[in-house]
Chain A
Amino acid sequence: SIDVLIPSDKEEDPDVIPEDSSLLTLQIRKKALERREETIIVDRACRQETLAYEMESHAIGKRPDNPIDLVEEGELLLTLNIFYPVIFQKHKDHKPYQTVLVLGSQKLTELRDSISCVSDLQIGGEFSSQPDQAPEHISKDIYKSAFFYFEGIFYNDKRYPECRDLSRTIIEWSESHDRGYGNLQSVKMEDYTFNDLSLKIGFPYLFCHQGNCEHIIIITDVRLIHHDDCLDRNLYPVLIKKHWLCTRKCFVCKMYTARWVTNKDSLAPEDPCFFCDVCFRMLHYDAEGNKLGEFLAYPYVDPGIFN
């Protein structure tokens, strides 16, 4: 039994490293701790760490209220890494990604709905002349098509009538000349669940939406569901890890998140320049709402909006 392994004679504090330990691990850890004590003034978890830990563990052990939603034994659990589409210079070594858990019996469309990408929220159009009339339609509503690419087959989202087959272009291109790709097929996304697919772990696949916003998807793990996992079907696909992106603040007040970006602005010190709503209006429009100076203004959605 466990009593054999832990001496229960005295109370031990897990935070204190025992002095006379023969374990190399503890000696190394002790040195690191001492170094930390010397250099860090306040040693507690920063908010990024708290968020990361919360995200990882918030879904553990949850049970549904409705027994129909209980995940069955023998269900597969996949871990997907969905990479962000932006390519910054500093991301050359490791691209930022978010990690999602999905059940094997879930449809591809459910995953598609759960992917939150900032490009979905973009509002197109230049609105310097009519700042109040920025439309409410975000890109997600206008351009609904999307597809997944797994193992030579394109899974297109065809739930709405305005969804187009984005993969048709690629298929026609590959068939036009003998480019060495096997035949690529195109099917409907809503007819398939993850259990129907045959996938490779660690191999990059694609998710494309908005016509040109491409995300790489990598499957890192497939395993059987465990008693300690979240067993509420409604909560899946569950996000367990997100990359923290710093939001751009308004150039003027440096407090609020930027909502407008201007180009060729004679009133602004740099190009492009970011403003929050209040500062934007105060700077660029007079009391009657007339436009002052020359500029082009676009509504801006910050990538850090999902923090």
Chain B
Amino acid sequence: MENVGVCDEFVNLKATELRLGLPGTEDEKQKVSCGKSNKRALPETEKDIESTGKTETASPPKAQIVGWPPVRSYRKNSIQTKKNEAEGQGMYVKVSMDGAPYLRKIDLTMYKQYPELMKSLENMFKFSVGEYFEREGYKGSDFVPTYEDKDGDWMLVGDVPWEMFVSSCKRLRIMKGSEAKGLGCGV
């Protein structure tokens, strides 16, 4: 018996049932993304979900259900970090810019060297970073790119070899103005 066929039947049966519960995994995702409102999705919305043709045996759900699977966050964080590092599934780090209303995230594995990264940051936040000098740091701009390393220290981007930077960078912060001066922004 074809699983897909059975599931279609199953899903349709459920769709005609007069209940407020939602039939399939895809619907769970929809529920979560509906801004956690107290009102459940109306039947019309459910039909929309089914008409996209997804069944329970389709590709595994990519969206994450809050608190599922029931694994302690401590353990989840531990496994997740290791997986990302091992499989090269992207190293997403937060990027904050002084004065910007919200943070961004970038995937460090998308870049091969510092200039690419700088260009991308400059585009993202619409600023320019000046020129890097080994001794004086960044010159020619009010903005200084810094990062937090594994030890919790704030370092100037560009000092260490690229690979070392990628493996130790936990988050990025683009400092601006007078605070930036302390990190060797010689202007």
> Are A and B genuine complex partners?
no
* B interface residues, Cβ below 8 angstroms from A: none
